[in-house]
Amino acid sequence: MAIKTEPFVVNFGPQHPSTHGVFRMRMTLDGEVVVDMEPVFGYLHRGIEKLAEGRTYTQDIPFTDRMDYLASMTNNFAYVLAAEKLAGVAVPERAEYLRVIMAELQRIASHIIAVGTFLNDCGAFVTPFMYMMREREKILDLFDMVCGQRLTYNYMRIGGVSHDIPEEFMPALDKFIREMPGFIDEYDQLLADNEILLARAKGVGILPKKLAINISASGPVLRASGVNWDIRKVNPYSVYDRFEFDVPLGSAGDSYDRYRVRVQEMRQSVRIIRQAMEQLPEGEVWNRMPLRLRPPAGEAYAHIEAPRGELGFYLVSDHSATPYRFHVRAPTLINLTALRDMIIGWKVADAIIIFGSIDICLGEVDR
């Protein structure tokens, strides 16, 4: 006997434990299956691009911290690279290596949260999350030692970094690097072949390779679909061409692959940090520029491989102390383009998993 059903609208509201911030999805359901989905965001739109036009280039660095607040170091990095390109400023070598060390530590910290919250959504309530936050606290201690802040660092400056590392930093970093691979193995052992994770994430939310390129996806989302495109390899910035590391790729483009790519990227980051520590030269850390920097008129775009994708800054200058246009190429906003395609046809519970595996950060989506 055929049952007559009607489509039903459910609002995954801005306040929801699994939406990683204030993100809203208006879902049209047929029973439990998602028929259509409309993403609504802007609940955290703070007008950073407009505010930045009223502040000097150095005063804009704290704004970049607060966009993707889970990966502030890499945000700072991308912005100062763009500003240095615009102003034609050179960076001392010690500062370049310190920037790389901080960026890779930040990548590990960001992926820890990404993987932890993904597992949280899968149903392992907070156990893996608590274990991973324990490691993240160690990284935050290292950052605290260097710049005094736990979350919004404001560490990098145009022309270098703001402080040199204190004496106790290197031994602490060394200890962390020696222990981290062991911790990653510990989680992997529990989770890689876990039945529930495989059942919930394998084959769920597939992003085909052609679609991934067409929607301008970047970061782990693109690499899990099989596209070998990592900015650190194809367009190396800073001193990344001096390090040896692999780029983990997925094959199926499903949520499980995105999770695996992130875990393996953490291992590669440990490798890069070890090499950077060995090669770290002595010297200055900041090529001091006037605080009210006035770059020549023109435009510049610089992009880096942030933990969530390709983060870029497009700056236009009119030879005054404040930028004429400050635009952020937000990877998470662009990665979300495929969300509707990935979710349609799956059930409500899978929608959460797919959304969690893309790993967005609302501060960056909305700016």
The reply to whether 163 sits near another protein by the rule CB under 8 A is no
Q: Which of 129, 153, 176, 240 binds another protein (CB under 8 A)?
A: 129
The reply to whether 50 sits near another protein by the rule CB under 8 A is yes
The reply to whether 17 sits near another protein by the rule CB under 8 A is yes
Instruction: Quote the distance between the C-alpha of residue 247 and its chain's center.
Output: 16
- 96 contacts 239 by C-beta, under 8 angstroms: yes
Largest CA distance in the chain: 80
Which residues lie closer than 8 Å to 234 by C-beta, 6 or more apart?
A: none
- 32 contacts 68 by C-beta, under 8 angstroms: no
Given the rule CB under 8 A, which of 21-29, 175-183, 249-257, 282-290 is the region that contacts another protein? 21-29
The reply to whether 5 sits near another protein by the rule CB under 8 A is no
Residue 361: CB minimum distance to another protein, A: 10
> Using CA atoms in the order 92, 98, 101, 104, what is the torsion angle rounded to 10 degrees?
-70
Q: Which of 32, 33, 125, 151 binds another protein (CB under 8 A)?
A: 151
Q: Which of 142, 215, 221, 261 binds another protein (CB under 8 A)?
A: 215
Residue 202: CB minimum distance to another protein, A: 22
Residue 52: CB minimum distance to another protein, A: 11
- 12 contacts 19 by C-beta, under 8 angstroms: yes
Q: Which of 8, 186, 202, 292 binds another protein (CB under 8 A)?
A: 8
The single residue listed with the structure tokens 């059942």 is 199
* 9's tokens: 């609208």
User: For residues 8 and 175, which CB has a smaller minimum distance to another protein in the complex?
Assistant: 8
Q: Which of 134, 175, 178, 202 binds another protein (CB under 8 A)?
A: 134
How far apart (Å, rounded) are the C-alpha atoms in residues 335 and 352?
Answer: 16
User: What are the residues facing 316 on neighbouring strands?
Assistant: 299, 325
Binding to another protein in span 299-358, by CB under 8 A? 301, 303, 310, 312, 314, 316, 324-325, 327, 329, 333-334, 336-338, 340-341, 344
- 322 contacts 54 by C-beta, under 8 angstroms: yes
